[in-house]
Structure 1
């Protein structure tokens, strides 16, 4: 495979997004390109500047990454979700200081703050928190700023020559982030070997809020067609106050007949609907027994 097969991730290097991208793609066959924001990752895929993009979607402790959901809502074309990957996230408090004494500012991504609330409230309560674009960017910023610290990975500390003042400060030891893999709109993930049973599909839709029970009727479609929901979230649609876009993930591939039929019926209850992609269920794949040799 040529070296121009590129993967965009939320940088700088050593971010959790970088680690997720390295875990999802062969490092010898792909070139990894850092982006400043999650929006830049979408743009790089939509414009063809990169072949793939890896974006954080949800965390087991702190829920959905709203920045990503908003981009799925606002960017209506030019990409397709073709995969998912999971990363166990262990946060560290990193700094150029030798201990916690005298720390006045704390930098990190908002998701990282949310994943470390218990530790922060018990150990660094009252210290100013400053949101930045990524945890690795936070580590960069504190490198030359006395009195500051960052929540980042131990890898980011090593890259930036920082000390690790505390390890594993996340609220839950199994703290895991799920990432989506994006590719250009004309590319779609093929069905798994199990005829779609090992796949998931991600859709976005809105309903007529003036129609009583429209959302309930739409969600009932999945039950009627035997499609198990694995995730549901919502964001304001930014067109009408108190109207929402719903994001639903379910088991099955968009190319199977029962999913096609279900989506056709779902469309009758929707003001708008978009299929954002189908991809292999990595959790289900990980649980499959290894083939006998």
Structure 2
């Protein structure tokens, strides 16, 4: 486990806060209660805390099984100086929390991911309510606790922390709703024999088949891809960076050969990290 690497030192962990967020719960599940936690207001702040070595590790949300990738995390990975050294999964059950009753709710606070995961329920039961983005579900609970006629989509934990009533339970659109979180650090993790690696690259968009040529190198070396994403490069219009996750560790021989081959087709290539595979198939 990642925290065993720092057993002789005090371990500190930054996470997207405030207390009670799903990221906080994932961090607790990964590191337990014997480390020092530092809640951060934004995902960017979590990255900065690790990059500037204010904390040993950071925990950020990466993707949800219902609503897909957390684009804020993807965008921050483009400029990150950290390494992804681990992952964690958390089953996410959303609840409608408020100080009042459901009939008086005119505003709902939550993280954009939570709104996306509860879209059907909101459209059915609170279609006229104003949905307002918050930096996290726990921040949403804080806001709902300070205002009348406001509610939050958040966790049961936040109901207890912020003195809110649970108006409706389990309002997510799909059962088995899970979020994957990345553990950030400053030193790469070693191979476990069951790992995944996340790669970032861009290609010459003017060259036909450039992306196809890149992806074919994985097939040539018998490497299974598990996720592909893209985001604007912010370098020029209609230019994109690609995220590719695959089975294997960056130090595996077939992965090294694939990375050497893919370098011939890429304009830029960054290994964001290799980490032990924690996904369990339901």
**TM-score, normalised via structure 1 length:** 0.92
Q: Which residue of the other structure, out of 228, 249, 253, is the alignment partner of 2:249?
A: 253
**Partners of 1:201 and 1:276 within 8 A in 2:** yes
State the secondary structure of the residue aligned to 2:103.
coil
User: In 2, Cα distance between the equivalents of 1:109 and 1:2?
Assistant: 37
Give the aligned partner of residue 214 of structure 1. Answer: 210
Instruction: Report the Cα offset of residue 126 of structure 1.
Output: 1.8
**Partners of 1:92 and 1:169 within 8 A in 2:** yes
Give the aligned partner of residue 120 of structure 1. Answer: 122
Give the aligned partner of residue 72 of structure 2. Answer: 67
Q: Which residue of the other structure, out of 89, 114, 129, is the alignment partner of 2:92?
A: 89
User: In 1, Cα distance between the equivalents of 2:9 and 2:220?
Assistant: 46
Q: Which residue of the other structure, out of 106, 114, 129, is the alignment partner of 1:104?
A: 106
Determine whether 1:80 maps to 2:83. yes
Determine whether 1:166 maps to 2:168. yes
User: In 1, Cα distance between the equivalents of 2:177 and 2:198?
Assistant: 23
User: In 2, Cα distance between the equivalents of 1:133 and 1:234?
Assistant: 23
Instruction: Report the Cα offset of residue 144 of structure 1.
Output: 2.0
Instruction: Report the Cα offset of residue 2 of structure 1.
Output: 5.7
**Partners of 1:3 and 1:31 within 8 A in 2:** no
User: In 2, Cα distance between the equivalents of 1:280 and 1:252?
Assistant: 9
Count of aligned residue pairs for this structure pair = 276
CA deviations over 1:16-50 (Å, ceiling 9, x no partner):
0000000111322x111100000000000000000
Give the aligned partner of residue 189 of structure 1. Answer: 189
Determine whether 1:233 maps to 2:229. yes
Instruction: Report the Cα offset of residue 3 of structure 1.
Output: 6.8
User: In 2, Cα distance between the equivalents of 1:282 and 1:149?
Assistant: 34
Instruction: Report the Cα offset of residue 69 of structure 1.
Output: 0.3
User: In 2, Cα distance between the equivalents of 1:229 and 1:36?
Assistant: 33
CA change 1:216–1:35 in 2 (3 A) is: same
Q: Which aligned runs of 4 or more in structure 1 are off by greater than 3 angstroms?
A: none
State the secondary structure of the residue aligned to 2:102.
coil
Task: Output the aligned Cα RMSD.
Answer: 1.2
Instruction: Report the Cα offset of residue 233 of structure 1.
Output: 0.4
Structure 1 unpaired stretches of 5+: 288-293
User: In 2, Cα distance between the equivalents of 1:280 and 1:8?
Assistant: 20
Determine whether 1:153 maps to 2:162. no
CA change 1:123–1:3 in 2 (3 A) is: farther
User: In 2, Cα distance between the equivalents of 1:176 and 1:87?
Assistant: 6
